[in-house]
Amino acid sequence: MAAVSDGSPAPAGRDEGFFLRGAGAMALVIVAGFSVQLAMGRSSFSSPPLVHAHAIVFMGWVVIYLLQNVFAATGRTALHRRLGWLAAAWVVPMLVLGFAVTIAIVRRGGVPFFFKPLQFLVFDPVSLLTFAGLTVAAILMRGQSDWHRRLHFCAMSVLLGPGFGRLLPMPLIAPWAWEATLAVCMIFPLVGMWSDKRRSGRVHPAWLWGLAAMIGCLLMTEAITYSPVGGAIYDAVVAGTPGEAVAPLAFAPPPGPPPAP
């Protein structure tokens, strides 16, 4: 069994390379997911301004995270710290726009057919709050780089859901599409644990906290979705909108073939 360290830096050399490669792989997942959808005609640039603002801010975070790892790996500490304060402020519009886009989709009755509308309304905000919580924890522990970078890595892993969700065969894994996507996102922290063990013979406890947060995200989402509280939230959000006619826990029928020319 892998031993869990007491939080001291791993003695087997520097690990900036792992985090830089991990950041690149995460960015690739996000870009690939959205690029595939665009190439297949399932996404377009005709979305409402709110969606574009959301996309710009979230892709901005991906760029920030990648740059932060580049700066750390190349020893540019001053730039890393300066950009870190911008990153801390960047979380706020991410939360605001993420919540707003989710609510807008549910209100217009546009939840993807492989998600239950109420679950979609819950898991997006809960995932964002999980990301924000891990990010805040990473910022508070910025003086301990071993904790700082691992907590940030786990936070970024939570955000991979939309990327993986556009790469996985979601209709084929319903009704567990969201749960399966979150499970795939956990691969990144698990690889981090394996990397620690291989490099130093120990697993840093930050990985366990990160995985616990992701599991907590799953459990909280399920608990709210299938509770009276979830139903009350859904009713309040969709009141007076087209989403009011959509059953909160029923899957919408899949889209039919395009009309003949």
Q: Could you tell me which residues are beta bridge partners of residue 202?
A: 3
**pLDDT for residue 76:** 92
What's the confidence (pLDDT) of residue 40? 65
Mean pLDDT, residues 78-86: 93
Q: How much is the pLDDT for 255? A: 72
Average pLDDT, integer, range 29-51: 78
13 has a pLDDT exceeding 60:
no
Quick one: average pLDDT of 159-180? 92
Q: What is the pLDDT of residue 257?
A: 52
pLDDT of amino acid 135: 97
242 vs 255: CA distance, rounded Å: 18
Mean pLDDT is highest, among 3-7, 16-20, 203-207, for 203-207
The pTM of this model reads 0.89
Is residue 79 predicted with pLDDT exceeding 50?
yes
pLDDT of 191 higher than 70: yes
| Averaged confidence pLDDT in the chain | 89
Residue 53 has a pLDDT of 94
pLDDT at 44: 58
